[in-house]
Amino acid sequence: MTDDRPNSDFPPLDRSQILIGMAVTAVVLMAIARFIQWLGNVSLLDWHWDSETLLLGGALGLGITLASLTLFYLWPQYRTSAKVYLNMVLEPLALPDVLWLGLLPGLSEELLFRGVMLPALGGGVAAIVISGVCFGFSHMSGKSQWPYAAWASVVGIALGIAAVTTGNLLVPVIAHTVANLLSSTFWKLTHQTEAGEGA
């Protein structure tokens, strides 16, 4: 029996390792954000809750998911790169675990890359691009992962634009969480179906 999964630069992880890794990564990112705030006396980007925030964040998250799905089918290098990442992160997880995959990065990554990094860099175009590219590189798990990292950079820039134009960190937090939840759930459901058909 052959393994038709794309190659990864990392050994396969089990469910516990993925969940612990997500939690540790979230704590580390939040600690880095707090350290940057303390070091540079940086104020966290404002965030407030209202129905417009929920709608904007949800719509942006849905748009990111649809764009990613389109890219998956149109760009073979991205498809291969995304499969490596998705197999590595999602395959060991149970479907309910996807909730954590949506919430933990949605909160911790947005706190660092949009909540703290944008204000620390001045909140202008350069800040949006730099924070977006840093976000993209944080998703690169190996040299062959450049298409996935490139797409994550574009997503990071879009989330940065949303944060700056609305002045509300909760918009990219919701968008990021929604995009993670939708794409992860879609992958888990279709992957389980394909696995069931192949059995």
**Domain contains 175:** yes
Can you tell me the distance from the alpha carbon of 44 to that of 112, in angstroms, rounded to the nearest whole number? Answer: 9
CA distance 26 to 20: 10
CA-atom Rg of the chain in angstroms: 17
The reply to whether 163 falls in a domain is yes
109 vs 29: CA distance, rounded Å: 7
Cβ burial of 160 (10 Å; 0-12, 13-18, 19+) is buried
pLDDT at 4: 40
Residue 9 lies in a domain: no
Please report whether residue 45 resides in a domain: yes
Q: What is the pLDDT along the chain (199 residues), one digit of tens a residue?
A: 334 444 555 677 899 999 999 999 999 999 999 999 999 899 999 999 999 999 999 999 999 999 999 999 999 999 999 888 888 889 899 989 999 989 999 999 999 999 999 999 999 999 999 999 999 999 887 888 899 999 999 999 999 999 999 999 999 999 999 999 999 999 988 876 555 555 4
Write the single-letter amino acid at 44: L
How far is it, in rounded angstroms, from Cα 84 to Cα 5?
7
CB atoms within 10 A of CB 114: 30
Answer yes or no: are the C-beta atoms of 156 and 133 closer than 8 Å.
yes
**pLDDT of 36:** 92
Output the pLDDT for position 193.
58
Q: Does residue 8 form part of some domain?
A: no
What's the number of domains the chain is made of? 1
**In this structure, is residue 2 part of a structural domain?**
no
Could you list the residue range(s) of the whole structural domain that residue 103 is in?
15-198
